[in-house]
């Protein structure tokens, strides 16, 4: 292993240089991928020297999610203390299902969960766990809600129409999870939103009433803290009132922006969070840990156990359920995704996490100000969102983003709200500075003015 | 980052030394965990020196899954070229959903899938993906089967009784997944097994017929390649005949031992695999990669897409569905779990993977021979299984295993088949040698003869 650690460090040095020199890797056409790079797996292996040179070619053409030119996803950057923790998790290779084989890492996961419970205003006897992604934590919330409303489903299976509610602007996983769980896509009600993409609570109530009148069983409302495109926040307090009235489980999907709980200044965006039944956030988004670090907490400790527990006596051989995390996990074996957040939190404190969150809003504010001050741009975003949505000179956003990618200038994507498509730049990479934001806009302007856009478009 | 890489290497050196010096970490009582180790997360951070010394204490008390004394789970050891790949995946931090942000790693995942398709005897136009664990790949198989049999369920939800079949000796995830998917636990039929824990195909057929007569909809059979406790293999060919007759989806759960496809000598254990509809294996088990590397392939490429696809235009912005792996994933964002298997395979070839697999069977054979030659032991295992199950001197297996753990002698668990409980030693750690197996037994014998067992038992 020691020798391969040296190879690893050599490859890291190469990667860190490449990120600086070529912040956007030149994309390889999919039709040329297997010719351009040796990705083949064969009967016989290769010597270390060849493996390393092969890996360097792969690194060269790998999209650089930690570079100063990456604005494409709801994650990005590299917060090195979190990376340190995840590297260590790979080396330790513990599975989180039992205390016997995970030991102190069970305590680490519990410490994270308990601190997030406290920051969310949940009661002390709440519980929580980690899953492989935000779609999966949303899935766990839906299942707990289904099982709480109709406990017979776990044994007998579904044989009635259960309905759930989420806004038009929410993540696609809510509908997908309805399919996975046997609820069915037709039983997902998409609630209208206002002009900021926030759920219309009055419409939610209408939909619930209609379903009750039809004899259906409403059971679950998903509110979003950070909608996928616009980065908007549903009004948890008003939604919660409806949930209380009709006895519906309220989940807050904070995969994208739930980490505002760490910020004194921005936590108001999830006002009313303490009224919800479950809440999820992805530390690999706003907090900058490596993928994945998806956390869910719930007030209903017994329901979490009831929905995910299992009797596997080959597995649980020592200690209590409280320390055998497999009893509250979606899956069985589970890699240690807690350590990366713990090393980060331990090294910079909650105050440091707050700075990370606040800085992203500051970068977004700076970007919005730039757009507002330059007449060639149209702004579609609002205050207190880290999704900065805009168009430049009436250039179709999809053409602009694809050209910037193909020409290895910038990694940025486009989004759509109602009838408008626009560039969605995400200021989630917390190691960026204002000059990187400035550089982003100036790169677009230079790119367009050099007529580079035209040359990269398909021929007429 | 560069400085934290140095800290990482320093911590690795400490870990590698500890693994040698103390192959079994002394367990900390859960009641003392938060006193003995500083796991606290606070408002303010700590300096690097304190973080490193803190992490060293945590490493010291972390169960050593890569040591020569770890026989506790269906994984273990550290194959360093695979670890190298996973460390690199942490640094690169690509999400596998789109070609735009994963680039060559999409090709790496496809190359792995295509090679496993070939080794499994599946048609060339088969497809596959990775998920966060073996429970999740089993879940994907169940969902594809459900959706193929009853396509209306995806839209309308479940409103009939669908039944599925798995052996008494199969993994608990099959029943758990039936609950998650809305099928219900009561609609899981547990098929009887023979004395080796292999599914009784005649009983399977009886159960299917009975359900059809009752007006239910049978849809899914799970066969196991490597049962959790005994490491047995269901007879795929005979099960397949029944599946063909009654039009049932046949999944082969090879999470534990599906990697026998890499061995010319042992691939006979999954004879008939090419007759199945889907097949899953965990490279983090027999192939020794870090957690997790769970792979599923299926002949039904269109069904994989149909069951897991999603219309997220904010996400899929370049290239075809074939290269945007989010279209066939259970979840949305997904860490790169392919690279670790690719670096291993590339560096040692299929022939090297074969040696890894064969070596585990050789170690098991050696262990069984030792047991057979020593009258103080009773053997419960059979040939061609890497689960070596035994009892020693009529000592209750659970007492022995727990005492060995508490006294930091060995990490090994117990299992049960029918009315017998026994020690289950797993020879899956491929970096072990025969002397490590010998040492395992000698440690037990010395431990018992020194009467250490009694001292660690609770007082009467």
Q: Is the peptide bond before B292 cis (omega within 30 degrees of 0)?
A: yes
- How far is A153 from chain B, CA to nearest CA, in Å? 6
Residue B280, CA distances (Å) to A232, B51, B235, B452 in order: 39, 40, 16, 42
Q: Can you give the residue ranges of every domain in chain A?
A: 2-65, 84-343
**Cβ-nearest to A12 among B5, B352, B413:** B5
A426 class by beta-carbon count within 10 Å (0-12 exposed, 13-18 middle, 19+ buried): buried
- How far is A250 from chain B, CA to nearest CA, in Å? 19
**Cβ-nearest to A34 among B15, B94, B107:** B107
C-alpha to C-alpha distance for B214 and B205, rounded to whole angstroms: 14
- How far is A362 from chain B, CA to nearest CA, in Å? 22
| Cβ within 8 Å, pair B84-A291 | no
- How far is B453 from chain A, CA to nearest CA, in Å? 16
| Cβ within 8 Å, pair B314-A228 | yes
How much of chain A is helix, strand and coil, in % rounded to 5?
Answer: 50, 15, 35
Please report the sign of the dihedral spanned by the C-alpha atoms of residue A435, residue A441, residue A444, residue A446: negative
Full-prediction pTM beyond 0.90?
Answer: yes
pLDDT in tens, A236-286: 999 999 999 999 999 999 999 999 999 999 999 999 999 999 999 999 999
Number of Cα atoms under 13 Å in the Cβ half of residue A428: 32
| Cβ within 8 Å, pair B318-A161 | no
Residues of A in contact with B284 (CB under 8 A): 333
Residues of B in contact with A101 (CB under 8 A): 63, 65, 72-73, 411
Return per-residue pLDDT of chain B as tens, 460 residues.
999 999 999 999 999 999 999 999 999 999 999 999 999 999 999 999 999 999 999 999 999 999 999 999 999 999 999 999 999 999 999 999 999 999 999 999 999 999 999 999 999 999 999 999 999 999 999 999 999 999 999 999 999 999 999 999 999 999 999 999 999 999 999 999 999 999 999 999 999 999 999 999 999 999 999 999 999 999 999 999 999 999 999 999 999 999 999 999 999 999 999 999 999 999 999 999 999 999 999 999 999 999 999 888 788 888 888 999 999 999 999 999 999 999 999 999 999 999 999 999 999 999 999 999 999 999 999 999 999 999 999 999 999 999 999 999 999 999 999 999 999 999 999 999 999 999 999 999 999 998 766 655 554 4
**Cβ-nearest to A292 among B107, B228, B335:** B335
Pairing outcome for strands B377-379 and B387-392? antiparallel
What would be the CATH architecture of the domain defined by A84-343? Answer: 3-Layer(aba) Sandwich (3.40)
Residues 6+ apart with CB under 8 A from B209: none
| Cβ within 8 Å, pair A39-B342 | yes
Beta carbons of B272 and B199 less than 8 angstroms apart: no
| Cβ within 8 Å, pair A181-B186 | no
| Cβ within 8 Å, pair A186-B155 | yes
């Amino acid at each position: 292993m020691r020798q391969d650690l040296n190879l690893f460090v050599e490859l890291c040095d190469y990667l860190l240089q490449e990120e600086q020199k070529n912040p956007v890797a030149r994309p390889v056409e999919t039709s040329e991928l297997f010719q351009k790079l040796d990705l083949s797996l064969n009967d016989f292996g290769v010597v270390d020297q060849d493996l390393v040179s092969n890996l360097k070619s792969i690194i060269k053409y790998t999209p650089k999610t930690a570079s100063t030119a990456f604005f494409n996803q709801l994650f990005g950057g590299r917060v090195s203390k979190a990376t340190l923790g995840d590297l260590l998790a790979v080396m330790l290779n513990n599975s989180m299902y039992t205390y016997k084989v995970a030991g102190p890492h069970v305590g680490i996961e519990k410490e994270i969960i308990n601190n997030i419970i406290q920051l969310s205003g949940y009661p002390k006897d709440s519980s929580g766990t980690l899953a492989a992604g935000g779609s999966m934590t949303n899935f766990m919330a839906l299942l707990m809600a289904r099982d709480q409303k109709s406990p017979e489903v776990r044994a007998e299976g579904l044989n009635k129409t259960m309905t759930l509610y989420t806004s038009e602007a929410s993540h696609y996983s809510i509908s997908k999870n309805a399919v996975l769980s046997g609820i069915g896509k037709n039983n997902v009600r998409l609630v209208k939103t206002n002009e900021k993409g926030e759920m219309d609570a009055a419409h939610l109530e209408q939909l619930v009433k209609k379903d009750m009148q039809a004899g259906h069983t409403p059971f679950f409302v998903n509110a979003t803290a950070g909608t996928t495109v616009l980065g908007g926040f549903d009004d948890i307090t008003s939604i919660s009132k409806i949930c209380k009235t009709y006895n519906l489980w309220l989940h807050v999907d904070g995969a994208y922006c739930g980490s505002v709980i760490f910020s004194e200044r921005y936590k108001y965006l999830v006002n009313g969070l303490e009224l919800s039944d479950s809440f999820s956030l992805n530390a690999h988004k706003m907090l900058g840990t490596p993928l994945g670090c998806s956390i869910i907490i719930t007030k209903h400790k017994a329901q979490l156990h009831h929905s995910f527990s299992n009797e596997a006596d080959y597995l649980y051989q020592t200690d209590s359920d409280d320390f055998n995390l497999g009893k509250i996990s979606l899956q069985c074996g589970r890699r240690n995704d807690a350590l990366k957040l713990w090393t980060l939190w331990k090294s910079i404190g909650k105050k440091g996490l707050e700075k990370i969150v606040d800085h992203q809003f500051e970068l977004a504010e700076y970007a919005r100000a730039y757009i507002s001050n330059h007449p060639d741009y149209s702004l579609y975003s609002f205050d207190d969102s880290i999704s900065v949505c805009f168009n430049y000179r009436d250039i179709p956003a999809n053409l602009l983003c694809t050209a910037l990618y193909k020409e290895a200038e910038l990694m940025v994507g486009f989004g759509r709200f109602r009838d408008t498509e626009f560039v969605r730049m995400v200021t989630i990479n917390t190691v960026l500075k204002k000059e990187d934001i400035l550089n982003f806009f100036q790169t677009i302007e230079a790119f367009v003015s050099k007529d580079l856009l035209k040359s990269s478009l398909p021929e007429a």
